[in-house]
Amino acid sequence: MAFFQTPPELGNTYSGDDVLKRYLRNTLPPDVLTQIEPELLAMGELSGGELYRDSLANYREEPKLEQWGPWGRRVDQIELSSIWKKAQRITAEKGVVATAYERKTGSWSRVHQFALVYLVEPSWHVYSCPLAMTDGAAKTLTVSKNQALIDRALPHLMSRDPSESWTSGQWMTERTGGSDVAICETVARPIAGESGMYGLSGTKWFSSATTSQMALTLGRPEGNPPGGSGLALFYLEVRNADGTMNGIEVNRLKDKLGTRMVPTAELTLENARAQLVKGADSGIKNITPMLNVTRTWNAVCAVSGMRRGLMLAKDYARRRVAFGAPLDQKPLHLDTLATIEAEAQGGMLIAFRVVELLGKEEVGELTEQEAVLLRILGPIVKLITAKQGVAVASETLEAFGGAGYIEDTGLPRLLRDAQVLPIWEGTTNVLSLDLLRVLAKGGSLEPIFREVNACVEGADTSLKEPAEAALKAIEHAGTWLMRTLEAGGPALVEAGARRLALTLGRAIELALLVREATRSKKYGDHEKAAAAARRFWRSGVDLILDENIDADAKTLFA
Ligand code: MFK
C-alpha cells in the first residue's frame, strides 16, 4: 500500500501546554488560577480546534483594498480575511483587551490577559497586531489623564460587545523611518477656533491595522522645534461620522514577507482632524506607554509562536517514522528539539515576568526598584524573545523536513510571522541602544543582579553551575560596561550593546528557569524544569567579548 504521512495534530493549546500550566500553578494564588482556568481551557479549545482548522484552510486569504466606489468616489475600504473577521468578534466577546482593564484578578490581570493571548496568537494570523495597538492606546490614553478622550475612546477599546468595540492603530513610521521617529515629517496646523484640534498632513509609511476606528499618531505643530521633543501626540478617528475618510487616503497595502493577513498600509494625511492627547510637544515621550505595552505583546507573541512550533514538532516526532523508528526515538532529533524547548521555556518565563511587573504597575503595587527593573527589562524582553522566536521557528520547520517548507502544512508561516518580531516595535539594535540610554541615565545593573540573585536562591545542587553562570554573566556585564566606558568610551560601548542586552536577557532567562525548578519541587515535577535550565545553560549565556573588536568590524565593513 502506498505511504501517506499522518500530519501533526494540535489539541487544546492550554491542556497540552505543561510549561504554561506549571508556570501558572507556581505563580498565581490558587483561587486566581481556579477563577481563570475555565477561560484558559475555552481559549485553548478554540485555538487548537476551530481557529486552527480555519487557519489551515484559509491560509491564502489576504486583505483587499478597494480604493474607488462604483460612482467614482474614493472609498478606501479594506476587506479583511475571514479569520480576522472572526477574531474581531472573539476578542471582544472574550475580552482579550478588556481583561487587562477590568482587573477582575487585580494585579494578576495582565497574566490572565496575556495567558489568553499566548494560547491563541498563532491560530489567528497575527490578529494580535491590532489588539496590541488597541491595548497600547487604552494604556496611553489612561495615563494621559485626558478625560475627554478617555470618555470617548476607552469604553470602545475595552468593550466586550463586538458591535461597539474598536481597535486602534499606532502610526509612527514615515518614509523617514520607523526607528528615528524624531525626524517625522507630519505637519500639524491648529484648527482656528477649536482648542487642541489640529489638521495633520503627511505620509504614514507603515500603518498596521488600518481598519481600526482610531489611531494615535505623531505630528509636529507648526513652529515647534525639530527633534522628538517638538513632536506632539495626537488622537484621530479614521472616519467621519458619515463614514467618509477623515482626510486620510490609503495609498496601497504593503507586500510583506509575512503577517500577510495584517492590512499594513501606506497612508496620506491631508488635514486629518486630530486632537492633542497631552500638550503640544514631547510626543515621543508621551507615546512610550504604548510602545511598552506593544513590546510586551511582541514578547508574548514570540513565545506563543515558539510553543506552537514545538507542540506541532513534538506531535509529529511521535508520528513520523524514518530509518526504522519514530523520530521521538532518535537521539539526535530529541537533542535538537530539547535545545529549542529550553529556549522557548526561557523566553516564556522572561516574557511573563515582565507581564507580572506590568500588572503590578497598573494597580500601583510596584516598588521603586521594580519600576526600574521593568524599564530595564522592557527593551531586553522584546529583543531577546524576538531573536529566539526566529531561531526556534527556523529549527521547527527543519524538524519537519520538506513538509516544513510547504505552505499548506501551515508551517512556513510560523517562520515568516516570526521574522517581523525583531523588526517592528523597535529593532534589536535600537532597543539595545535604548537599554544603554536607560543605564546611562543613572540606572545600573543592580536591579537585574538582585532579580537574578533572588531567582537562584535555594537552587538545587544539581543546578549549582547554571545558577552560578547566570550570576557570573551579570557580573561580567557590569565590569565590561565600566571598563569599556573608561578605556574605549561610548563608541565601544555602543558596538557591544547588542551583546550586552542579549547576555543580560539570557542570564535572566536562565535564572528564571532555575527558579522554576526550585518552585516546582513541592509538586514533584521539578526534574523537567531543571532539565530545561541545564540545557539552556549549556547553549551558552555570556556573549560579551572583552577584546576590542571594533577595529575588526570596521575592517570587515570596508
Ligand atoms: C504582535 C505585536 C504587535 C506589534 C505591532 C507592530 C506594528 C508595527 C508598527 C511599527 O513598527 S511602529 C514603529 C516602531 N518604532 C518604534 O518602536 C520606535 C523605535 N525607536 C525607539 O524606540 C527610539 O529609542 C526612540 C524613538 C524612542 C528614540 O527617540 P528619541 O527622540 O531619541 O527619544 P529619547 O530621547 O530616547 O526618549 C525621549 C523620552 O522618552 C525620554 O524621556 P525624557 O525626555 O524624560 O528624558 C526617554 O527616557 C523616554 N523614553 C524613551 N523610550 C521609553 C521612554 N520612556 C519609557 N519607556 C520607553 N520605552
Residue nearest to atom 22 of ligand 1 (CA): 426
Q: What is the 275 CA–ligand 1 centroid distance (Å)?
A: 21
C-alpha cell at 283: 510626543
What is the arithmetic mean of pLDDT over 88-103? 98
Q: Which is it for the CA torsion 436, 442, 447, 449, positive or negative?
A: positive
DSSP-assigned states of every residue in 274-285: EEESSSSS-HHH
Say if residue 428's pLDDT is above 90: yes
Single-letter amino acid, residue 448:
I
Closest CA to 123 of 41, 40, 48, 209: 48
pLDDT at 557: 86
Question: Residue 399 to residues 83, 217, 306, 333: CA-CA distances in angstroms?
Answer: 27, 42, 13, 8
- Spacing, Cα 61 to ligand 1 middle (Å): 33
348 pocket-lining for ligand 1 (C-beta < 6 Å): no
Pocket test for ligand 1, best of 134, 434, 439 (most atoms within 8 A of CB): 434
Task: Quickly state the pLDDT bin for 444 (edges 50, 70, 90).
Answer: confident
Determine whether 556 is exposed, middle or buried from the number of CB atoms within 10 Å of its CB (0-12, 13-18, 19+). exposed
The three cell numbers of residue 167 are: 481597535
What the block records as the C-alpha cell of 213 is 476606528
Residues 48, 342 contacting (CB under 8 angstroms): no
Predicted pLDDT of residue 156 = 98
pLDDT band at 185 (very low <50, low <70, confident <90, very high): very high
pLDDT of residue 113: 98
| Crossing angle of the two packed helices 497-520 and 446-456, in degrees rounded to 10 | 30
Q: How much distance in Å is there from the Cα of 291 to the middle of ligand 1?
A: 6
Check pocket membership of 396 for ligand 1, CB cut-off 6 A: no
Cβ neighbours of residue 396 closer than 8 Å, sequence gap 6 or more: 306, 309, 310, 312, 313, 340, 404, 411, 414, 415
Residue identifier of the C-alpha nearest atom 8 of ligand 1: 424
Instruction: Please report which residue ranges of 459-525 form alpha helices under DSSP H.
Output: 464-487, 490-495, 497-520
Q: In Å, what is the CA distance from 369 to each residue of 165, 375, 451, 548?
A: 36, 10, 10, 33
| Nearest of 61, 116, 56, 108 to residue 85 by alpha carbon | 61
Q: Atom 55 in ligand 1: which residue has the minimum CA distance?
A: 288
Predicted local distance difference test score (pLDDT) of residue 550: 75
pLDDT tens digits along 199-217: 999 999 999 767 999 999 9
Which residues have CB under 8 Å from 89's CB, separation 6+? 162
| Whole-number pLDDT of residue 210 | 76
Give pLDDT tens digits for 368-403: 999 999 999 999 999 999 999 999 999 999 999 999
Provide the pLDDT confidence category of residue 551 given band limits of 50, 70 and 90.
confident
pLDDT single digits (tens) 495-506: 999 999 999 999
- Distance of alpha carbon 546 from alpha carbon 481, whole angstroms: 10
Give the pLDDT confidence of 60-89 residue by residue, as tens digits. 999 999 999 999 999 999 999 999 999 999
- Would you say residue 549 has pLDDT above 90? no
* Closest C-alpha among 81, 78, 61, 125 to residue 252: 78
The Cα–Cα gap between 495 and 550 comes to 7
Residue written as cell 481557529?
Answer: 51
DSSP E strands in 277-364: the ranges are 321-322, 325-326
With H, G, I as helix, E, B as strand and everything else as coil, classify residue 368. helix
Q: How far is CA 316 from CA 204, 321, 410, in A?
A: 43, 9, 14
State whether residue 130 is helix, strand or coil.
helix
- With a pLDDT cut of 90, the percent of the chain lying above it is 95
Q: Is ligand 1 within 6 A of the CB of residue 288?
A: yes
Cα 284 to ligand 1 centre (Å): 6
Q: Is the pLDDT of residue 442 over 80?
A: no
- Residues 419 and 336: beta-carbon distance below 8 Å: no
Q: Write down the pLDDT at residue 553.
A: 83
Q: How many CA atoms lie within 13 A of 229 on its CB side?
A: 1
Q: Is ligand 1 within 6 A of the CB of residue 279? A: no
* 419 in contact with ligand 1, CB cutoff 6 A: no
pLDDT above 70 covers what percent of the chain? 100
Band (558; pLDDT cuts 50, 70, 90): confident
Cell of 117: 493571548
Whether pLDDT at 554 is above 90: no
Distance CA 315, CA 326 (A): 11
Task: Please report the sign of the dihedral spanned by the C-alpha atoms of residue 38, residue 41, residue 47, residue 50.
Answer: negative
Rounded CA-CA distance 452/504 in Å is 10
The number of angstroms, rounded, from the C-alpha of 122 to the middle of its chain's C-alpha atoms is: 13
| Three-class SS state of 452 | helix
**CA 538 vs CA 114, 343, 527, 532, 534: distances in Å:** 29, 11, 16, 10, 6
**Residue 522 has what DSSP assignment?**
G
> Bridge partners of 204?
267
Which residue, judged by its Cα, is nearest atom 52 of ligand 1? 288
Which of 16-30, 96-110, 172-186 has the weakest average pLDDT? 172-186
User: pLDDT grade, residue 547 (50/70/90)?
Assistant: confident
Other beta carbons within 10 angstroms of residue 534's beta carbon come to 18
CA-angle at 451, arms to 375 and 384, nearest 5°: 55
252 DSSP β-pair partners: 266
- The residues with which 276 forms a beta bridge, in sequence order, are 234
